[in-house]
Amino acid sequence: MYELMDDCDSIQDRYRMSDCQSAHVMDGHWLMYEQPHYRGRMMYLRPGEYRSMRDMGMGPTDMRIGSIRRIMESC
């Protein structure tokens, strides 16, 4: 299990993982991208526990997670 507090442009480079299959969002709102460097399809996650891709609203083979970015409020 890894704790992520800021943006991650490549899960593989930072954690030596090829993919992420679950998440527990404790605070804030996040976008998970299919590919590294915030490319490809994206999925919005709000606070909650996502034990599988199905909990995130996707089938197990519909999407892989390559990067994650926190949504920040803008003025």
CATH of the domain at 61: 2.60.20.10
Asked if residues 68 and 33 have their Cβ atoms less than 8 Å apart, the reply is yes
Assess whether pLDDT exceeds 90 at residue 30: yes
Residue 18 maps to a domain = yes
Dihedral, 14, 20, 22, 24 alpha carbons, nearest 10: 20
- The better pLDDT of the pair 25, 56 is held by 25
Tell me the residue type at 22.
S
Looking at residue 59, its pLDDT comes to 65
Residue 4 maps to a domain = no
Q: Write down the pTM of the prediction.
A: 0.79
The Cα 14–Cα 20 span in angstroms is 12
Domain around 23: 11-70
Looking at residue 37, its pLDDT comes to 97
Looking at residue 15, its pLDDT comes to 86
The predicted model gives 6-18 an average pLDDT of 88
